[in-house]
Amino acid sequence: MSEKKVTNKTTYLEAISQAIREEMLRDEAVFLLGEDVAAYGGAFKVSAGLLAEFGPDRVIDTPMSEGAIIGSAVGAALMGMRPIAEMQFIDFITCGFDQIINMASKMYWRVGMPVPMVIRGPAGGGTKGGPFHSSSPEAWFFHTPGVKIVIPATTYDAKGLLKSAVRDNNPVIYLEHKLLYRLPELREELPSEDYTVPLGKAIVRREGEDMTMLTYGAMVHQCLRAAQVLEEEDDLEAEVLDLRSLSPLDREAILASVKHTNKVLIVHEDTLTGGIGAELAAILAGELFEYLDGPITRVAAPDVAFPYAPPLEAAYLPSAEKILTAARQLAAY
């Protein structure tokens, strides 16, 4: 009986698929384009069944050109459509970098017209994808005014944040961690009624008094595991704040949490140097210096290319064990 209940719950991947379908039903201006999204149903089967339901005018297979995909989406958005452009793997978003940086992000200031579009795709490691299928590119766009960045950590948020992204009048980069797509423990019973999760609002996943863990995406779950061990073995309560949106950033929630706990551990999967954590550290050092009872600490990937060999990948990625070690050092300061 219990196994049947779990099976009927929605996966992270299914939540994304549901969001796309429901937004296409709600608004005829919404359409999907990308490599293999139509006939094949997407590399990870996110768009399976959508071609049959909506037809080739709204579910469009494109050439293997991310620049063309994103450029077409920008043009369509300027003409009043709401495109969802899929990157088969988010690593290849770099092929459309110019279209994002010099077109999508600046078009409103250039011509005064909104660019309501979503660029979405699978990001992150842990699936033995090697250096060309495992990147976390959020920091590249975090530096770009005019682009919003969303990274859901839960099934509920995966659906609600994508719906908000589609309805937003700005270009939104929506990063889906592929490790979470079919993770059994992320299955949830989602509301049957329409719902959204607002962009730019962080959420406390676990309350605590002794330190704040600032994180997002798949690292939320690694931080929660580490926080559980801290409570059981060290009698320490770590607060885990899931940022959810990197741009806009919920500065109020970040400052409130760290002001409450007085110590902060920043965790992200992307490489360390110049990452999101560096900006978070600068914000905290500039605005909460007198409240800090220890050094601003970061756990991130090393500044090397993403490895392919499984043992090297495990050594490369931040983990609950690495977070736990850093948290204990910070607590002892």
What is the residue type of 296?
Answer: I
Task: Burial-class residue 61 by CB neighbours within 10 Å (0-12, 13-18, 19+).
Answer: middle
CA–CA separation, 216 and 318 (whole Å): 13
**Is 133 considered catalytic here?**
yes
Q: How far is CA 22 from the centre of its chain?
A: 20
80: left (phi over 0), alpha (psi -120 to 50) or beta: left
Dihedral sign, CA of 29, 30, 34, 39?
Answer: negative
Alpha-carbon torsion angle 282, 286, 290, 291, nearest 10:
-50
Q: Which of 133, 177, 221, 268 is catalytic?
A: 133
Q: What single-letter amino acid sits at 148?
A: K
CA distance 225 to 163: 29
- For 57, 80, 117, the CA distances from 54, given in Å and listed in that order, are 8, 19, 19
What is the set of active-site residues? 133
